[in-house]
Structure 1
């Protein structure tokens, strides 16, 4: 008795490839965007480029994203979640000492954004033209400032760091420094710290600012 049509063994010939799911298409758009941003700036990438790279039509692209900026926002969400996870692990795991704790936090921040260098540069540039990108980044920045403020306050409370500038103001200034230093290093915009030295330079400044002359080992 012959098998039913849906039971026939597959030879791989004459069959249509499986249709990608909605999630697959969205991921293909995001992957294409990150790949193209490594080759050229966002302004030189069109919706047609994104659709073609993802293997979909232009109308299908608009089913998933309203614009190029929306793609950039979705990518920012994903990478920020990576950074937040890394930072939570760095702040939440026992450290061998203050220097080790700050080094892991700064290293996690640096490693995450270095892994997405073209996106980091694109977001920094898009903030001047996109209210949505600027708003999302401000919210992210605020979370990191709050984490750093709490860590500085904790070091002062246990007597490891001296009283000084308000902890939040210090956290804002230091986190802003991180952002600018990484952007310059990744983009080559203006004087920049060499990649191999970034974490150590940032760590040294954070330790000096938080602990003053009594920098921990």
Structure 2
């Protein structure tokens, strides 16, 4: 599920480095300012002057790192999705050992990642209808996750743990899209919404029922088990 990418808007390295370069620190300061301001106000109410002031730089210096405030939001989204990919780790490789436990682990890790950056997630969801670049990046990310879950469903069917049924890709699209909407409602308080303390277990039961037709799928027998 992980894909190495260069974050959009990243500035090229310049000059001699001593630990972190000043350029890296300024870019990080811009991104940190943006995420902090998103906790306080809507993305549309944040100006480039706000971002520059919060990062301790001038407006012209801001443009050295990012061509627009949209590029800042895209970089934040890119980093959040990379963090989610990294959090998924090798969960799919261990799925057969205990499907319920490992599907829960996967959903919980994604929930923790997106919940930890909920203001970025909500801002991207709100501008996606009018921002083609955010829409394109999110579609690419969702396609990557759809393919990963599709492959996992097909593997579980091949080992006999999950029954055949709807096309695995269609099922994966529906499940990933459900997560997206449910998390948005939970994070935004956009009712009706599942309580945050319950959302992982609610999503888990729906996923298991859709994939296995049961909430207690079979585990792979341990080596040496008759």
What is the TM-score normalised by the length of structure 1? 0.88
Distance 2:34 2:133 in 1: 18
CA contact (8 A) 2:128 2:135 kept: yes
Cα deviations across residues 59-106 of structure 1 (Å, max 9, x unaligned)?
A: 111111111110000011111110001113322346641101111111
**1:167 and 2:152 aligned:** no
Larger Rg: 1
Distance 2:146 2:179 in 1: 11
- What is the root-mean-square deviation of aligned Cα atoms in Å? 1.6
The alpha carbon displacement at 1:197 in A equals 0.3
**1:191 and 2:162 aligned:** no
Matches within 5 A, 1:35-184: 35-93=36-94, 96-184=97-185
Higher relative contact order at CA 8 Å, sep ≥6: structure 1 or structure 2? 2
The alpha carbon displacement at 1:214 in A equals 6.8
**In structure 2, do the counterparts of structure 1 residues 211 and 140 end up closer, same or farther at CA, with 3 Å as the change threshold?**
same
What is the TM-score normalised by the length of structure 2? 0.84
In structure 2, stretches of 5+ residues that fail to align are: 1-20, 219-226
SS of the residue corresponding to residue 89 of structure 1 reads: coil
CA contact (8 A) 1:156 1:163 kept: yes
Cα deviations across residues 17-55 of structure 1 (Å, max 9, x unaligned)?
A: xxx711110000000000000111101111000000000
- Corresponding residue for residue 34 of structure 1: 35
CA contact (8 A) 1:90 1:108 kept: no
CA contact (8 A) 1:145 1:175 kept: yes
CA contact (8 A) 1:184 1:192 kept: yes
Distance 1:116 1:189 in 2: 17
CA contact (8 A) 1:25 1:54 kept: yes
Could you list the structure 1 runs, at least 4 aligned residues long, displaced by more than 3 angstroms after superposition.
92-96
In structure 1, stretches of 5+ residues that fail to align are: 1-19
Of Structure 1 and Structure 2, the greater helix share is in: 1
- Corresponding residue for residue 14 of structure 1: none
**Larger deviation, residues 92-101 vs 59-68:** 92-101
Distance 1:153 1:127 in 2: 31
Distance 1:95 1:33 in 2: 41
